[in-house]
Structure 1
């Protein structure tokens, strides 16, 4: 079998940089240098010398990507969680294939749908808010600059009336049909209270052709107890659905394999801390490995191929775990940084900027990386 060294060495007439994807462009800096490291002096330009150095990293990236692509095929068992409006889509990945389920009962989505009504109203009127903070109980918590950014429309405009009336029509239909939805009695009552209060706020605002932060907060504050009821029912549905699925899959893969289970939870940045599925799942895993095997992977939006994204990043994490101890056998702190979310240069940068060295967290959160970034993230 040809070695990498033999392959590169046999590629006569092709520079290492060109072979690995680099092309040298002539420039004013391309002054010939004398190469005295080999028998017989030969002239190389400064750019060619730089390209040969760049090629070292290109070779590392290529080798790293090859290892990762092969490692993906061996990841098992893994559970990938896609957070969504239905409470999450769960996929079990084993050597025998994949299976996916949405384990959470509809009560979860129905309860959250009505709980979101105040936010739905806010989204229509927010840009027409006056950019001055009125005398509110939480006035000191509102950033004036942020308010100015959100309230970008003229507060004297009535352009909000039509879209708010359209939303009111949606709320009216839901209120009319609510008794037929078959929800628990307490949830039916709380949903009715939220819908009634929202319609009252909308009708009063449309009739007066004006609203303000005070009137909206009076409405939203009045339905908060009912929102808490909806949250309670949604949480109950999610806990039961997730726990039942985890128990089923645990029996399927067996205790030995389950002890080494990886769970990758894909989420948006805004819900990546104390994500509800992460909280539920951790109690179903091997407690000794939760800190390293339960991975929150926040992103800006749902990836096109969530399963591949999860497995590709997991492969990166797994091989970094091993690489860390073998590449940095004499410095466990740096090894921990390679395993986690720290940049290897962070300590040095902090030192040079007069700060203190960072502390490696015991349960790192791994972030989705964009294509083209350094594969070892350090």
Structure 2
């Protein structure tokens, strides 16, 4: 492979250093800068210093780009509606597939019905938290931001009826989908409950948080049943493909497997696929080799995004020990997701946690801290 490095030719190392030294001396004594405005000289000097970091970044990026071709074996998982697209990268080759059975997608599709209705009616829920079970778990400020529309508006009726048409079509075809009996019953309960909510709400031209919670609470048991079927399909499919690939590449390669799971922030902790993959990896390396990578949106090329990030992680693992050979705390920071300046910043903040100046409500507000109401010690 062609590398980015070229050998300096036509000059010895001593000659190169002499040339650099002369340039630095000239810059230090201001030669050639007679008559230049002091502010301009300072800007040039600072730009020259910043160029040092620019040079580092260019070489760092080049190393990362070269390293990608040597990453192996790597499991890349892109979470999606079908349970995840899995790609095995090994010795320059790739294989991709969706290993999870279709029951997963079907169970999730129906389970998302309450969220689908919520997404249509949310702007018109009203910005006041009613006296309902779990009212203290609803952030009043967040509710005001989500319920940004007028409560008396009727613009939600048409899209809700349109969504109901989709639900009706699914309900009519449910019997022919070949679902397990228990799952078919739970899907019917969710769809029937949703259609009743739509019918009552659109006929009355109104709804509120309480009426929506009544609907969602009524179908909760059915949702849990669907979750069980989805989880069973997920586990069977993922474990099956991991066994297949493990046998193909052999134990010697498998023990060094990296797994990069791409997901959105909301599912990046205890991600469904990560939970299944972890026990199938080398136990000694799970903590460092199973990487949950949150993405703002699903990337166009998830394999490249995963490998690009992994290359950074791998080269930082080695660089950390060589750049900070006598400071293991700094080395650990460079190797992990912690910012290298985190400890220093916390020291200078007096050990305060992230979040800045602690919030203090006016005396007249009483115990208004939402975090405290949620059962934490924060304030």
Q: In the alignment, is residue 87 of structure 1 matched against residue 87 of structure 2?
A: no
Q: Indicate the residue corresponding to 1:261 in structure 2.
A: 257
Encode CA deviations 1:198-254: one digit per residue, 9 max, x unaligned: 111111111111111111100100100000000000000000000000000001111
Q: In the alignment, is residue 222 of structure 1 matched against residue 218 of structure 2?
A: yes
Q: Indicate the residue corresponding to 1:293 in structure 2.
A: 289
Encode CA deviations 1:32-89: one digit per residue, 9 max, x unaligned: x994758x94438222222221111111111111111111010011010000000000
Q: Aligned-pair distance for 1:104? A: 0.3
Q: Indicate the residue corresponding to 1:77 in structure 2.
A: 73
Cα gap change, 1:124/1:7 in structure 2, threshold over 3 Å: closer, same or farther? farther
Whole-angstrom CA distance in 1 between matches of 2:222 and 2:66: 51
Structure number having the greater helix percentage: 2
Cα gap change, 1:132/1:5 in structure 2, threshold over 3 Å: closer, same or farther? farther
Contiguous gaps of at least 5 residues in structure 1: 11-32, 359-378
Q: Indicate the residue corresponding to 1:164 in structure 2.
A: 160
8 A contact 2:69–2:92 mirrored in 1: no
- Number of corresponding residues: 336
Moved more, 109-118 or 153-162: 153-162
Kindly report the root-mean-square deviation, in angstroms, between the aligned alpha carbons of the 2 structures. Answer: 2.4
User: 3-state SS of the aligned residue for 1:288?
Assistant: coil
TM-score by length of 2: 0.84
8 A contact 1:78–1:264 mirrored in 2: yes
Q: Indicate the residue corresponding to 2:360 in structure 1.
A: none
Whole-angstrom CA distance in 1 between matches of 2:31 and 2:102: 76
8 A contact 1:347–1:357 mirrored in 2: no
Encode CA deviations 1:293-335: one digit per residue, 9 max, x unaligned: 0001101111121111100110000000000000000011110
Whole-angstrom CA distance in 1 between matches of 2:72 and 2:239: 20
Cα gap change, 1:41/1:127 in structure 2, threshold over 3 Å: closer, same or farther? closer
Whole-angstrom CA distance in 2 between matches of 1:356 and 1:116: 40
Q: Aligned-pair distance for 1:188? A: 0.2
Whole-angstrom CA distance in 1 between matches of 2:246 and 2:321: 30
Q: Indicate the residue corresponding to 1:2 in structure 2.
A: 7
8 A contact 1:347–1:356 mirrored in 2: no
Whole-angstrom CA distance in 2 between matches of 1:5 and 1:201: 82
Whole-angstrom CA distance in 1 between matches of 2:327 and 2:115: 50
User: 3-state SS of the aligned residue for 1:283?
Assistant: helix
Moved more, 106-115 or 40-49: 40-49
Q: Indicate the residue corresponding to 1:109 in structure 2.
A: 105
Whole-angstrom CA distance in 2 between matches of 1:4 and 1:329: 32
Q: Indicate the residue corresponding to 2:235 in structure 1.
A: 239
Contiguous gaps of at least 5 residues in structure 2: 1-5, 17-23, 355-379
Aligned residue among 307, 310, 313 for 2:306: 310
Aligned residue among 326, 329, 341 for 1:330: 326
8 A contact 2:263–2:295 mirrored in 1: yes
Aligned residue among 133, 137, 140 for 1:137: 133
Aligned residue among 333, 336, 344 for 1:340: 336
Q: Aligned-pair distance for 1:134? A: 1.2
Q: Indicate the residue corresponding to 1:186 in structure 2.
A: 182
Whole-angstrom CA distance in 2 between matches of 1:85 and 1:155: 33
Whole-angstrom CA distance in 1 between matches of 2:52 and 2:59: 11
Q: Indicate the residue corresponding to 2:48 in structure 1.
A: 52
Q: Aligned-pair distance for 1:7? A: 11
